[in-house]
Amino acid sequence: MVGMCINSTVNISFGTYQIPVNLTRSTIEGALKAEYRGIDCAPVYFNEHIIGDVLSEHFSKNILQRKDIFIKSKLPSPFHRKEYVEKALRKTLSDLRTDYLDLYLVHWPVAFYPVEDALDTSRRGYLDESIDDSNEGRNIDPKVSVHETWEAMEDLVEKGLVRQIGVSNFPVSLLHELMSKCRIPPIVNQVEMHPYLQQTKLLTYCKKRGIQVEAYSPLGTPGNKEKDDPMVMDDPVLRAIAKKRNVTVAQVCLAWALQRGTFVVVKSVSFDRQVENLMVQQDGFLTLDGEELAMIAELDRGYRFFRPEDWWGYMGMAVFA
């Protein structure tokens, strides 16, 4: 087994999901200036090529060194078959202008049929969004096992192309199955997690198995909610705690996540918000007391903002059911 250790100094990573293309460069430049040292990427965010340009410029000008930045990306669903996994990674490496990733995740535990012409490394980015098109689930490939994909992920570590591997959006049952046969266990499981979706049982299982949990959407996706979705940031309990502590609601949510022992991925296109969010990792900035933690525990609704059963209805693909 290859020994692995996630970078514990990067407990808050900067997220890059749904940053408008015309704001990606300035947003990443701002995040680096604010001293984010973990960048969370994915091909299906369709901005890795821009992020790679910004990082490359910082490295070439000696503003930062490659070793200073923990770069993370994800394997898209059309490339779960073993013969495509390394090709997909090499496309990401090309777009991010780096020789290796610090962490590579299986983005979703669902394979799609391959998009044959998408992995052209001579082209920056992607011509269209076909690698993220499930056609309401009709493009799901039911013949690819998680073990096939994971064996190819393990090969990437052994070839030195990635330092560590993990998963995203994996429920307990699938994690348990994956770990029954793996050579290299997943170092992290990145999942939606916030006060309305606390996933306590998943968190407990991962801690027992030595898997770090990383929370995405720790603020409840305020910029990506459907009309009838609740707004975590408007919750009266969280607002009351924030007012009492003279901090923002976002800072309360992030402090809560860190105190639970999870890492977080958080995004803002506002430089001031980027700085505010990162302040939470400073020693002594905000430690919630037992009463406050108990109040937040009562907010759990099991509410998901990311619902794959809505995207993949043709296959009835309720990943988290």
Distance CA 176, CA 17 (A): 28
The residue among 228, 192, 187, 130 whose CA lies nearest residue 319 is 192
Instruction: Supply the DSSP string of 210-244, one letter for each residue.
Output: TPEEEEESTT--TTS--TTS--GGG-HHHHHHHHH
Distance CA 162, CA 154 (A): 9
> Among residues 17, 36, 45, 84, which one is catalytic?
45
Strand segments, DSSP code E, in the chain are 12-15, 38-40, 70-75, 103-106, 165-168, 188-192, 212-216, 263-266
Distance CA 7, CA 134 (A): 33
Please confirm, yes or no, whether 36 is among the known catalytic residues: no
User: If phi over 0 gives left and psi between -120 and 50 gives alpha, with beta otherwise, what is residue 125?
Assistant: left
CB 264 within 8 A of CB 12: yes
Distance CA 102, CA 74 (A): 11
CB 272 within 8 A of CB 27: no
The torsion angles phi and psi of 312, rounded to 5 degrees, stand at -120, 40
Specify the long-range contacts of residues 122-129, CB closer than 8 Å, at least 24 apart: 124/49, 124/95, 125/46, 125/47, 125/48, 125/49, 125/50, 125/95, 126/43, 126/46, 129/44, 129/46
Residue 247 sits at the vertex; the CA angle it makes with 192 and 300, to the nearest 5 degrees, is 35
Amino acid at 94: S
The residue among 213, 179, 217 whose CA lies nearest residue 197 is 217
End-to-end Cα, the chain, rounded Å: 32
Active site residues: 45
